[in-house]
Every structure is written in C-alpha cells, then in structure tokens.
Structure 1
Amino acid sequence: MMRVLAAALLTVLAAAPAIAATQGAAAAQAATAPAATMPLDMETIMADPDWIGPPVEDAYWGVDGSQVYYSLKRDGSPVRDLWRVPANGGKPEQLDPVAAASADGGTPVFDRGRRHAAFVRHGDIFLRDLATGATVQVTRTAVKERDPRFSADGRLLTFRADNDWFAYALAGGPVVKAADLQEKDDPKAKKPDDLADDQQSLFKTLRGLRADEEAMKADADALAAADPGRAPKPFWLGKNVSIADTSLSPDGRWMLVVTQAKDADAGKIADLTHYVTDSGYAETEATRAYVGRNDPAPQTLRLLDLKTHATFELDTATLPGIGDDPLADIRARTIAALRKDGKGDRADALAAPKKRPVIVNGEYSPGVVWSEDGGEVAVQLRAIDNKDRWIATVDFDRHALVAQHRLTDKAWINWDGNDFGWLRDGRTLWYLSEESGYAQLYTKPLGGKAKALTSGRFEVDHPVLSPDGTRFYVRANKVAPYSYDIYGVPATGGDLVRITRFQGLDDFSVSPDGSRLAVLHSAPYVPSQLAVVGVDGAAVRELTDTRKPAYAARDWIAPKIVEVPSRHGAGTIWAKFYGPADATAAASRPAVIFVHGAGYLQNVHLSYPAYFREQMFHNLLVQRGYVVLDMDYRASKGYGRDWRTAIYRRMGHPELDDLLDGKAWLVERQGVDPKRVGIYGGSYGGFMTLMALLRAPGEFAAGAALRPVTDWTSYNHEYTSNILNDPQLDPEAYTASSPIRYAEALADPLLIEHGLIDDNVLASDSIRLYQRFIELHKKNFWMSLYPMERHGFVHADSWYDEYRRIDELFRGSLENPSR
C-alpha cells in the first residue's frame, strides 16, 4: 500500500518528537555506533523487534478532542502501555497506572445534543457531562461491557456484556437488564395431557390450586406492565438453541437475537502435541475441524418486542435468490460420479437444499446496525455457501425481513468490504459493495434506488461518517494500487477529494468536533506513527517517532515499485524490487522471489510491512549480491474482484503463472541468471513455494516453504470452502490445488519449516508431505520443526534458526549451483 518515497517520509518523521522513555540503555549505546555503515547480520535482523521501536497502536481521541491516546508495546514485554499526546503537538506522556485509571476510554460516543459522552475504560462504562466535566462510573463488574449507545432523546444509555444488554437512565437510577434470555423451554408452557385433564375434573382442590396459580401470574404480569422498575420476564428461546449474538435498539424497545442449533456438530476436532512443557510430559491441545467435516451451523433471526413481550421469527424465504443453487453444475457432476461408483448414500447427502441456509455476517461486518432513532434496523446475511450477501431491513409491523441489497458472486463474497450503516436521517442505508468489480461506497434510501458515491478501478475501505453526517471519509488507493490515503466525499454524492498525502495510510479516526483526523501512517522502514490532520488536509502535525536510533540511522534499501507484465492475460502484476543502487549491477546476480502469505493480502505498498523481518532479510541478500522480487500475485488484496477470485477452484495455478512471469522479468529486465533463482514464503507463501517446485520443476534452483498448506482437505472450513467449495462436493478443486498431489515431481532442493504447535496450518500438513517424499524416494529435501512456535513465530531464537537455514539453502543452491 502507499506510495510515499521512503526517504521523504523518513525525513519528515525525523523531525517528530522522539519518545525517549521507550529506549533502553542498550539502544542508547547502539545509537553511538555508525549504524548506517555497519553491514547487516542475521543476528540483528532476526532479533526481538524491540530494537526497531514499537508501532503506535489503537489511537483514539479524548472526549474533548484536545488529546489523542494510543498504546505502545513495552520493551521486553508483551504489555501495552497507554500514552497521551496533545493534538496540537507536544511531548507524549506515558500514563502510569494511576493516570491510566482516570484516562478517557477508547472511541467515545456522544448523544445527539452533544451534552453527554460515554466510553469504556478497563471494561466498564463511564458517562461524562460535557458541560461540567463530571464523570460517572456506570458499571463496576468483572464482565467486560462494551458498545455504549445513547437513545435518540438522550435519556437512555444502553450497552452490552456478552449477549446481555443493559439500560441506564441518565436522570438517575439503577442499571437494568433489557431482556432476560433463556436457552430453555418455558416450564409453564407444557400443555396438560389427558391424564392431567382427568385429574382436574376429579379433584376440586387441584382446580382451586390451579386457579390460585393463574391469579398470581395475572397479578404479577399486571404489576410488571405498570412498573418498569421490575426485572424483565424471561424470554424462553428453547432448550435446543444457543445464542450467537444479540442487538438492542437504542430506545430499548426491540431486540434482535441470532440463534443456532445447540447440538450443531462442528465435526471431529484435530489435536496437536506440545512436546516442550512445564510438566515435562507431552500434552495435547484441541484445534479445529477440517474443511467439509461439517458446515457452519445455520442461524435464525428472532425479533423480540420488549414492550409487549412477544417473539417473532424472521423468515429468510423472502431474500432474492435464496432458493437458487449456484453450485448446480458441480453438484450434478459429482453426484453422477458417486452414483456411477456405487456410492448412492454419499450422492444423496449432496442434494441441494430448497432454501439455502444463512448466517448473520457478523464476523466480517457489524452484522446488525440500528438507525440512530431506533426506528429502523439493517441486518447483513451471508449464504453458508458464501455466494450471496444480503442487506435486509425489518418491517416491525409485519415482523418480516425486507431485502434492500443483494450481492452475488459465482466465486465467493469477499471477506473485506462488508461495512454498512445508516445516514443521519435514519432512512438511508450506506454500504460497501464489490458489484462494479471494485469495492465502492453506495447509499440507498429505503424503497429507493442505490447510488454510487465512489466509482473507478480502485478500492475503497474503512468508511467513516462525519459527526454532522454530511460527509464520508474513506481510505482508498485511487492514485495507484499501492498508494493509500484518506479521501472525502459528500454523503449526498459529489467529487471524491483527496485529503492526506502520506501514501502509507494505516488507519484513522475523526475528532469529536469533526474538524481533524487522527492518522496512523507508516513507510517501508517506519512503523505506524501518529499524526493529526485537518479535514481539509491542512495543518499536518506529526506527534510521534517511536523508532530506536540504531534502527533509524541505518541506510535501508527503498523498495522500488515495478510493473511486471503478465504473459497470461492478467495485465500488470505489481511487485517490489530490492536491488543495488546501480541498476546495471543487478545483471548476472542470483535472485530470490518472496511470496507473501494469506493469499488475500497486499504486500506491494509503501506502508510498514507485516513482513518487516523478511524485508530486512532482503536487504541482507542484496548486501551479499542478490536481487529480490516481492510480488502481489493473483488473489492478492487491493486489485479488485477479478484479481481476487482468479484462484477459484484452482489455487496455485494463476499465482504460479504470475511468479513465473516475475522470474522472466528478472531474467529479461535485470539480467538475472535463470538457473540461479530461488523462491520462499510462509503460510500461503509456503504453499506457493511448494506449487512452484512441484508444478514447475527446474524453474527454481531451490525453495523454502514455511508453515505451508500441503493438502487443502486438512485446512479450516471458513477460508477453504469459499475458494474450493466443500471437498465432498468439489473433489476436483482439491486435487488440482493441493501440493501433496504433485509430490512425485520434486526435483529441486526443498526446505520445509514448521512450528509444531501451529494451530492454524497444522504441522501434520508438512509431516504428511515429508512422508510422501520418503515413499517416493526423493532426494534433497529437509524439514526443520520448531517445538515452541505456532503459525506466527514469536521467539527470536526460532526466527534466527529459521532464516539461517533459508540463507544456507540459497547460498548452496544459488551462489554455487551444482547444475
């Protein structure tokens, strides 16, 4: 992301105030050495990143807008300390426990009249009178409260703890539970059978007792209806359901409850083993089920009328396309093949449902959003097959869902780009949608037509409505795919206007008065730093520089953004190139291609990368005579829907085309020896390293696959089924996409490295492939296992060992190739 020249941003940040308190004695001593001229070494770049300096995290505005709070990791500890800095500039201040206990909490909310603010501090709710500054602690519990919100008339403050909602009257009074939700059957709802009826007819005393009971119940109901101070009556949801989520209207009148079957079977859970333990005994840990072992549990929506104490189930049958079968062709082929093989029971299990099951899309968006006055509510639903996303509102009179927008995709709906909400009028929706091919911002009045507020061949994310509701602020890569900044657009439509020019924009928030933006921005070698900018783009103030002197003083290689032409019809493949200052010196050098992880992730940008250690390793390689190419292959984030879904049902195929095009570019444009090109990467990058060596043997001199997926049938459901469908339904996609199916083609040196307690990509993935190589009598393959590492390594010793082995592999295969 982000296209600021590294040197320019480094110059800007060098003038920002340094946070001396974050620098230990060792860093101060290191600062005296001429770091800019010292050669890099593996020990340094793989050391604990405390030597670099911590990124600024979780920045938020104070209630009065004069201060900005943020967190910094403490040296030598995972603890995050709270800091505060004046928004107009000044020395940052670390808050001790006493000061932190009285600090403003994160992301305050305000009532419509701007008379009160509420925020969360250490998991409790606080209320502040903005005229007097008086602050009231509303809760003091061991449970973490969150999501404070004011009613439209400003008289009620609601918030939640887990799935329970509470209300607090600003005029004074106790915190009251909005609804009592019970995952049980109503004990009084059981209907009498014929024997009980017979007993009533026989015994006068029993009839009298029942009459007394009914009279007491009627009296209690009448008193409860007349006295809002009483505890609410239970809503008996049923013994066979569990609550997945809840949402209360701001006025406390309605509640939406998301439920699913309590006995839903997630499938067999895989275990991993800890070999190095405090006890001295090997210990097992449960992780997750494999893809396709059982689909996610379908969810249902219930509307609770808290005033009349009535419950209504919201039927999804009215959603457009809910009865379609987007997998009909694949389903028919697979069922026919199963029946041909005499597996009729398996074929029967693959029959399409009459109405596709859905879940509330709460993992990738808010899920449920109420208008400010509580008069409307919108719900985002996702088909479990992930081919459709709907935004629907609720008709409170008919107790029914009303579809407002449908996004459908033959591949899968994006994980990102699902933000939605309401304009200040409470009757107009806004949402992000990929329907144009790129994530853009839309508005839609209820019953009206949608309107695109942004459009073009670029991506928009993180929309934030200004406090007065007149303008959206968004992050976008309009200038170039790798350059991100904040833009503004009127909520009623108009020009998209660029506000910031960092070109490395990580996050932002709007000040309480709407006049300024708190911005987290970064550069290739500068972790996220805090700045404040006027909403007109003026009055830029840099507030932090948390880098350590020894790190900041080094002469790092600024990655050059290059355009690699695709020979496979994909257009431009954007990449970062690391090479010598003299471009002609790259000729005849060995080269390494780095493959980023996650699949859907963007690494070609000018922000501080998630792969900061790898970036330093690339500097080390260049120092030793290599050039390095880091590509955003197809499926990477930031390039639109078609780029994202190019891998549908064929993971590892278009991406490999792109990596081979990258190698061709190195050979043709940089004069690299085609026999001295190596490849490495972790997670999805490890998977792609395997696909490169196994599907294109001879193209790469060596490869290092870190924590790789080797067989997609053993990865998780949520990620894998979106791209490859279920393995029972679409076995062809899994066969085509899994490296273990190509193991017999191994011909080039391969190093596999994996954490033994990786609970994301299980170590069994690498071990199973290793056994396959053994059975195939393959040579030149090695595996290094790390007993105390999960998917993302955290121990410096492991990082050092991991990259020492990669370095040795490349030295032996690229610098002195035997072939």
Structure 2
Amino acid sequence: MKKVILVSVIIIFSIQLYGQKYSLQSVLSYPFPSQLVAAPSGSKIAWAANEQGKRNIYVAEAPDYKAVKITDYKEDDGQELSSLSISADGKWVVFVRGGDHGGRDGGPVNALSMPLMPKVEVYSVPFTGGKINLIGEGDNPVISPTENRVVFSKSGQLLMGSLDTAIPAKAIINMKGIQSGYKWSPDGKMLAFVSNRVDHSFIGIYTNTQTPIKWILPSFSKDAAPVWSPDGTKLAFVRTPGSGGATDSILTRKHQPWAIWVADVNNGKGKQIWKAPETIRGSYPSIDGGTNLLWADGKIVSASYEDGWPHLYSMNTDGSGRILLTPGNFVVENVELSNDRKTLIFATNTGKNADDLDRRHIYKVSVDKADMAALSSGLGIESYPVISGDDKAVFCLSSTAQRPLLPAVLNNKQIDLIGEELIPKDFPIKDMVIPKHVSFKAADGNTVYGQLFSPKDNAKKHPAIVYVHGGPQRQMFLGWNPMDYYSIDYALNQYLAELGFTVLSVNYRLGLGYGYDFHKPLNAGAQGASEYQDVKAAGVWLATQPNIDKSKIGIYGGSYGGYLVALALGKDSNLFAAGVDIHGVNNRFSSNNGDNREPAPDAALAAKIAAESSPITYLNTWTSPTLIIHADDDRNVAFSQSVDLAKRFEDKKFEFEFLSIPDDTHHWMKFSNGVKVSEATAEFLKRKLMNK
C-alpha cells in the first residue's frame, strides 16, 4: 500500500518567495462586517465585525457615522454573532452569541475544543456601550416595537425576556410543533408565528399565556411567512401544499405551487388573493428571501421567478392590479421596505457596465409603480442595503476588486465608507489584482461565466487553477464577496495569483445571476451532473490560453464546489493535474425516500443516474494528486462523505493527502482554521503544480 500522507493539523506555511509582496495571513487580516441593521427610528446602525476571529459589535450614527465598538470579545473562539437588531427607542442592541447559522443545525459550536460545550445565548448591550446583559439561552430574538421586551426561541419553543434583564426570561409558548417566523403586531400586543407540524404548518396568534392561541385559517397545507397589515388587523401569509400524496417521479420536473392568503385577525376569516402561475418558473421561488412577502402602503409585495428572473411584484390587498415592479434581465435580492412602506430597496446585478452582471448595486423602486432608480453604480459591489428609521439614509455593505467589505452610507450615488480605519494598515490593497469578466462555451453550448485573476508576471507559460464555488446557488463577483465563506476564497484566489497562478473562478450553471434556466438547468446534480460540463469547460478554456501550461492546471473548491472538484479529478485527471476537495459530496446515491411512502416510479433509473453523478464511481480513472479537507462538526456536508472517500482511496492504495479539523463546522467558525485551510490549499497546489 502506498503511504497516505498526513497534512499536519498545525501547518507551517509562511513561505515568502523572492519577489512575493505579501503573505496569505496578511490578505486574510481584513475585518469582515455582517448583520448590518438600522434602528427603527432616527439614523443609527449596528453591525458585527469579524477581526481575525475576534467578533464584536460596532455602531454608528448620524451625522458623522463614526464606527464605535461596543463589545470587547478578545478571542478567536468560533462564537458567531448573529440576529442583530436595535430597539425601537434606539437605546439597545440585541444579538445572539454562538451557533452556526449558515448550517442546517444552528446549535452550539465548540470550535475551540473546550471540555464544556458553549451555549447559544441572547444578549443586549446599550447602544452607547456598557454592561452586556444575558437575556437567556436561545436564538432568533425579535424586539417588541413598543416595549423593552424581546421574544426568542429555544428548542423550537418561544420565551420572552427583558432588554435590561430586570425580569428573567420565561416561556410563553411551549406546545406541539417547532415555532418560528414570529412577528410582533404593530402595537406590540400580539405575536404572529408559524407552528411547523412536520407535514403541515399553522399560523398562530399569541396574546398572553392565559389566552388560547388563535389559529388563522388552519388547513392541511403548510402556511408560512406571516406579515402584519400596518393597522394590525390583518395578516398576509404564504400557503404551500402539505407533505404526502402519491410518490412523484424523481427525474420529472414538477411545479411547486404557492399562493398568498390574507386573513382578518379579529374574526379569523380570509381568502386566497393570488395564486402562482402553474408553470415550472412559477414555482415557489428558491432564492434567498424566498417570496419576500411584504405588506407595503396599500400594497402587498412579493418576489416571483415566473418571467425567468427573480423580480418584485405588487398587488392591491385584495389581489387585484398586480404589476411587475422590476422588469429586466437581472436578479433582485436583499429586499428591504422603507419605514413609510412606500419604497423598496434591493441589490441587483444590473448597471451601466456590461460586466455589472458579475457585480451588485443598490436600487430603489416605489411599491406602486415600476420606477426603478439606481442608488449606487460603478466598479464596486454594494449589497445588503438597509434604510434608516427616519427614511433619510440608505446603508449597505460595500467592496471593490481590491478593498474588502465595509459598511457605507449612500449619498447621491456617492459611497461614504464607515469604519475604513478598521482595515489594518499593512493590508495589501494596492497589490490586489483586478479580476476580469470572461465567458466561454461548455460542450453542450451553454455559456459559462467567470472571473479571471492574472498574475503580475503573465507572459511566460505558468500553471493555472480553476476555483469552483459552493452553494450551488451562489455567484462569485468581480470583487470581494459579501458572504464570509467566499470572501476567504476571494482572498485565497488573490494570493494564488500573487504566487504566480492564473486563477479562473467559474460561475457554473445552478448558480444565481444569469436567469432561471441557468439557475435551474435540466439533468443537474444527482440527476446527471450537467453542471460539471461548465467546470470542465473552464479547464479546457485555460488550456487553450497561450500563457498557460496546460499540463499544470489544478482545481479546488468547497462544499458543492468540492463535489465538482471530485468529479473533475475522477473523470478528467488528464486535464486537472491536482486538486483540493474541501468538504465535498462524493457519493450522491441514496435509496431512502425520507418517509414511508411507496418508492418513486423511476427510483431505479434515478439511482443509476445518481451513481453516475457521484465521484466515487470514477475511482479507477482518478489519478491526480488530491488533498481532502473536512471539519468534523460540519452541519452542511456530512463528515462521513470524506471518511468514505478516504477509505475507498486506502482500499485502492491510492496516495492522497488530508487535513481533518476537529470540532469546527462547514464555515470555519474559528478564524485560525480558515487560515489553516487556505494555507494547506495554497501549499498543496504550489507544491504539485510549481515544484515539478
């Protein structure tokens, strides 16, 4: 048996080549902002910043918007800060510490490997800074609009606490089902919530612990996403079918029905006001934010994919007069409603430049007419907009190709940065390369998109890397990504270019940004892996470039990207000379329906295609050097996927390298683990593709 090489859990990779201008650690030293929120009144904002693993909360307010840190956590301990919100009077910031909210299980994370598991807890802190108050163990807090009360969840049930912790948090709903999606009525006297009962769900109204829950139009369906009317007398919600029925074909595309209902809270009466078109594109929108259901000023707003792009529509509250607010070939995401309920703001990939297709800018539109107007433009990326409580300012997260993400206030299309001083002085901004938008064709004629990172010395024959993002419903941009996972990968792509690689970040079919048919292609994933054609096309395109050594093309990616990396190495080792499979799915076969229904009529054929779509099927042609990386508390891709692949390699006596990380999750909650993974990836690719 060939020796299996272990990449040490503690990797030393501080190689500084002659002429190399910066280290990987330095390009990962930026402060990553997230959770940007605005106060319900005035002009105050708050956000969480991850500064090399030390996560803290910052605030700023008009007129100078100076960044002020109001917490003082000092360790890289993997404890996420999430669910930020500001109280109605602007005096308190509420947040959750702990968990991994990007995973299927948001429960406690012990990335520091402490003997006792940390907890997920809700806290409050004065906006001006001061004592941090523990409200209680739980998650997903929602502050009352009228009082210093906050509702939060624990184990699927709801508790209520006080912002100043003068009153201990107490259970207010402890009943059948998993309770979520809770929203206060405008007067703060009632709470609407979703009670998920597995195969169906109800919308309930809570008043107090002595009053029975009022169920709103209970049925055999799944009801979700309740929103209050401005006067608090009505609720709008989304209804989809309950689980069950005859087992459908696995391989046949099916319409996923959904409808919008409105009900009177006082008498419980209501009706369906709109039903989605019974077409594939009219299915429930599988985008971030889902239906984005909102009750605006005299209008109900929702998102739909029905015209081939995820757009916003509005209708009268009885369902009449429905209009498309955002026509055009672009996506709409990160949707927010102004406090006067008359304007929507959102991020989108359109603008004056042709390659804005691979950017995001902030736009606004009225709730009653299609009068879209740009609030930002240019060569940067603006995302996650929020509106100040007084509706006088719009904030967002802003980045460029060279500058990492920072909060910003938009002022007549000018982007005024907030907290720019938080970027370390030695961060190598000027040494960042500016990626270029490229496109090429896959074997079946599909157009593939990507961003090309070229090294400064780009003349001689040199090695190249294909980077494959995860998701798969993601899009990589011509700049720093506003998601923390992909921000790390963007930094790594910059570093690989600094080492002398050309890096092609490929946006393959299944991703967002290019319309429904690109996002929802035929025969993808376990039904044929048609998206792999785009990844292979990226390697083939690189091999045809005159300055690339076609014998030294590597590949790396994580999660769904890891799956496609494994397919590339299994099917096309002759093209991809080395690869790094980071927590990828290597076996897509499953014979379990997930319930007790009869087998699908095409179950046997679906299983055959799933096997053909699995990397493990191609072990006999998998010859390129491989590094497998996985953390064993992964809540997105089972650690067993890598355990299984490693065992198959060992049985085959195939030499491979590996990095196993105890106790961290899919998202490298501990900053030093994110650095370790990036260092291992860069070192492996350099050693395999440059040193031979």
Q: TM-score range by the shorter chain?
A: 0.7 to 0.9
Q: Which residue of 1 aligns with 2:102?
A: none
| Cross-structure match for 1:21 | none
Label 1:715 to 1:706 Cα distance change in 2 as closer, same or farther (>3 A).
Answer: farther
Q: Which of 368, 375, 380 is residue 233 of structure 2 equivalent to? A: 375
Task: State yes or no: 1:638 paired with 2:518.
Answer: no
* CA 537–688 in structure 1, closer or farther in 2 if over 3 Å, else same: same
State the match for 2:665 in structure 1.
790
Alignment of 1:769-784 (within 5 A): 769-775=645-651, 777=652, 779-784=654-659
Corresponding position of 2:395? 518
2:202 to 291, 300, 319: 300
Between structure 1 and structure 2, the one with the greater Rg is: 1
Distance 2:61 2:17 in 1: 33
Judged with a 3 Å threshold, the aligned counterparts in structure 2 of structure 1 residues 390 and 568 are, in CA distance, closer, same or farther, namely same
Query: Displacement, 1:578?
Result: 1.5
Q: Name the aligned partner's letter for residue 327 of structure 2.
A: S
- Give the equivalent residue in structure 2 for 1:39: 20
Inter-partner Cα distance in structure 1 for 2:150 and 2:547: 62
The aligned counterpart of 1:72 is 49
Q: Which position in structure 1 is the counterpart of 2:577?
A: 701
**Which residues of 2 match residues 42-121 of structure 1 at below 5 A?**
44-46=23-25, 49=28, 52-61=29-38, 65=42, 67-73=44-50, 78-80=54-56, 82-89=57-64, 91-95=66-70, 107-108=85-86, 121=94
Relative to structure 1, the CA distance from residue 253 to residue 602 in structure 2 (aligned partners, 3 Å threshold; closer, same or farther) is: same
In 2, Cα distance between the equivalents of 1:430 and 1:796?
Answer: 39
Q: Does the Cα contact within 8 Å between 2:346 and 2:385 map onto a contact in 1?
A: no
Shift of the alpha carbon at 1:604?
2.8
CA RMSD of aligned residues (A): 4.5
Q: Distance in 1 between matches of 2:676 and 2:35?
A: 32
Question: Which residues of structure 2 form unaligned runs of 5+?
Answer: 1-15, 73-82, 96-121, 128-132, 244-254, 595-599
Deviating more after overlay: 698-707 vs 60-69: 60-69
Distance 1:407 1:528, change over 3 A: farther
Identity of matched residues, %: 21
Cα distance, 1:430 vs structure 2: 0.4
Deviates more, 1:453-462 or 1:613-622: 613-622
Question: Which has the larger displacement, 401-410 or 308-317?
Answer: 308-317
Q: Cα deviation per residue 1:632-660 (whole Å; 9 max; x = unaligned)?
A: 11111222221111165544722221122
Matches within 5 A, 1:721-800: 730-775=606-651, 777=652, 779-793=654-668
1:541 Cα deviation from its structure 2 partner? 6.0
**Aligned-residue offset at 1:560:** 1.8
Task: Name the structure 2 match of 1:507.
Answer: 384
Q: Residues of 2 paired with 1:726 and 1:247: CA distance?
A: 42
Residues 667-711 of structure 1: CA distance to partner in whole angstroms, max 9, x if unpaired? 334442332211111211111111112233422122221111112
Corresponding position: 1:467 with 2:339: yes
Q: Is the alpha carbon distance of 1:430 and 1:716 closer, same or farther for their aligned partners in structure 2, counting shifts above 3 Å?
A: farther
Deviations 1:84-143 (A, max 9, x none): 44533375444478xxxxxxx965576xxxxx7786557689999xxxxxxxxxx99547
Question: Could you tell me how far 1:493 is from its partner in structure 2?
Answer: 0.6
State the partner residue of 1:287: none
Alpha-carbon distance in 1 for matches of 2:327, 2:191: 36
Report if aligned partners of 1:314, 1:400 keep a CA contact under 8 Å in 2. yes
* Contact 1:590 1:676 survives alignment (8 Å): yes
Q: Give the TM-score, by structure 2 length.
A: 0.74
Q: Which amino acid aligns with 2:63?
A: N
Which amino acid in structure 2 is aligned with residue 528 of structure 1? L
Q: Which amino acid aligns with 2:465?
A: V
* Partners of 1:566 and 1:661 within 8 A in 2: yes
Give the drift of 1:467: 2.8
Which of residues 594, 598, 606 is equivalent to 2:471? 598
Distance 1:408 1:653 in 2: 27
User: Match of 2:501?
Assistant: 626
In structure 1, stretches of 5+ residues that fail to align are: 1-34, 98-104, 111-115, 129-138, 169-173, 184-239, 262-295, 318-357, 362-366, 719-723
Task: Choose between structure 1 and 2: higher helix proportion.
Answer: 1
Deviation at 1:484, TM superposition (A): 1.2
**Does residue 406 in structure 1 map to residue 239 in structure 2?**
no
Q: SS of 1:681's equivalent?
A: strand
Q: What CA distance in whole angstroms lies between the structure 1 residues aligned with 2:368 and 2:408?
A: 29
**Aligned partners of 1:717, 1:565: CA distance in 2, in Å?**
36
1:259 maps to which of 195, 198, 208:
195
The within-5 A match list for 1:636-675 is 636-646=511-521, 650-651=525-526, 653-675=529-551
Distance of aligned partners of 1:773 and 1:605 in 2 relative to their CA distance in 1, 3 Å threshold = same
C-alpha change, 1:463 and 1:248, in structure 2 (3 Å) is closer
Alignment deviations for residues 507-541 of structure 1 (CA, whole Å, 9 cap, x no partner)? 2221222121122211234232122223x436846
- Structure 1 residues 50-449: aligned runs within 5 Å: 52-61=29-38, 65=42, 67-73=44-50, 78-80=54-56, 82-89=57-64, 91-95=66-70, 107-108=85-86, 121=94, 142=136, 146-150=141-145, 160-162=151-153, 183=175, 243=179, 246=182, 249-250=185-186, 256=192, 258-261=194-197, 296-302=198-204, 311-312=214-215, 314-316=217-219, 358-361=221-224, 367-383=225-241, 387-394=256-263, 397=267, 399-406=269-276, 410=280, 413-418=285-290, 419-425=292-298, 428-445=299-316, 446-449=318-321
Distance 1:717 1:683, change over 3 A: farther
Cα 1:518–1:664 shift into 2, 3 Å: same
CA distance in 1, matches of 2:189, 2:678: 58
